[in-house]
Structure 1
């Protein structure tokens, strides 16, 4: 796929050329009640709160910078929801610990960090994943994609297959983050099977086996966008069990 190619996607998912445009791209992946905030992992960040700093005291500088950018974006999204600034510690499983009445998710690439937050009264969970616009390495394909997903990729134009494989990876990461808040269960990539709709910018992630309350065949719905420099997926699970809003 050429660097300038993008698939059909929601009208708000236009190529990202600046932070405001990127924010619009990511907002288009979620219902209006979800707040999005961005930060740049390469830029200086505000000091971490003590409970946050202790979690990465031994981290390498690059990881510490990414972590600080994520927390800065998350606090900006908290403010947009009307919450005062608060620490967002890291749990033993490395997941962010959100205020009790908030659900959220953080993701980053080398030059962009995004936090998606929403009221827990409206959503059970949020998932966001950002990836650089690059082919999925061929040696990862058997680990990331099921046989059915690989058959679908084989039916796509050859120059698009690598990017679409990266899209499947991103959608699985996004759905994993969403379900984890409810199941606290780790699993491999083949536990979810992703079906993208390239015309609408939507995808479904189907469980291939029982995970917590999600039975085999349960589906989570999300949205995606592919721009010149970014692949992004978003998912919001409604407050009613079984509801998924992307």
Structure 2
């Protein structure tokens, strides 16, 4: 789902035990055990991906805004949902941003679609084969887009600021706000094992 030059590590099942670096500890200082386990496990995925880029001792603390702080010269994205976690990283001289997201392959809760999908997107969902939870795919695609947007702009991007059109395993996201140097992002999506996974990258100009 991601291009050559982006390294990905993923893990399915219960979170594997992972020792946190002291710089990573503040991110879960008051977290319940389950939250702490997922926080650590997804950073385990990040460390594997970073090692593949040649950074064997990298850490990924959380910043004041709770976003991951990647090593200098690296861009990346992490995601975790019950039973699955993944991280994707690349070098900043090649990639301006990377966004990945995983969600359960299930319909959005009642009423949420009207909050996160435009009227046109809701109509597109209504025309989609019911076996595909297209509303969840659209939601996940917007989450992936946000993970590209925020590290670059450090500003909010609402669901209403992104219009997504799904293709066969692909999607096109059109932005209603400026800040990335482009108003169109192209991504990919996949469904399997009860999950929706989406990914989008922004190449360095």
Q: If the length of structure 1 is used for normalisation, what is the TM-score?
A: 0.79
1:206 paired to 2:138: no
Q: Residue in 2 aligned with 1:17?
A: none
1:145-189 Cα offsets, whole Å, 9 max, x none, are: 0011011112223x246x100000000000010111111111321
1:181 aligns with 2:175: no
- For the 8 Å contact 1:132–1:230, the answer to whether it is kept is yes
Determine the structure 2 residue equivalent to 1:196.
Answer: 166
Considering fraction of residues, name the structure with more strand: 2
Aligned-partner Cα distance in 1 for 2:180–2:201: 17
Partner of residue 76, structure 1: 48
Kindly tell me: are residues 128 and 213 of structure 1, through their superposed partners in 2, closer, same or farther at Cα, counting changes over 3 Å?
Answer: closer
Q: Write out aligned runs for 1:221-232 (5 A).
A: 221-232=186-197
Secondary structure of the residue aligned to 1:153 is helix
- In 1, Cα distance between equivalents of 2:156 and 2:28: 22
Contact 1:41/1:69 (<8 A) preserved: no
CA-CA distance at 1:213 after TM superposition: 4.5
| Aligned-residue RMSD, C-alpha | 1.6
Deviations along 1:176-222, one digit per CA (max 9) or x if unpaired, are: 10111111111321110110102xx11011112x243557xx11111
> Which residue of the partner structure matches residue 17 of structure 2?
45
In the alignment, what sits opposite 1:10?
A: none
What is the CA–CA distance in structure 1 between the aligned matches of 2:83 and 2:7, rounded to whole Å? 20
* Unmatched tracts of structure 1, length 5 or more: 1-28, 241-246
Secondary structure of 1:51's match?
Answer: coil
TM-score by length of 2: 0.94
Q: Distance in 1 between matches of 2:41 and 2:16?
A: 8
1:128 and 2:100 are equivalent in the alignment: yes
Query: Which protein has greater RCO, CA pairs closer than 8 Å, 6+ apart?
Result: 1
The residue correspondences of 1:79-94 to structure 2 (distance < 5 A) are: 79-94=51-66
Q: Equivalents in 1 of 2:180, 2:157: separation in Å?
A: 14
Structure 2 unaligned regions, length at least 5: none
Determine the C-alpha separation between the residues in 1 that align with 2:112 and 2:38: 24
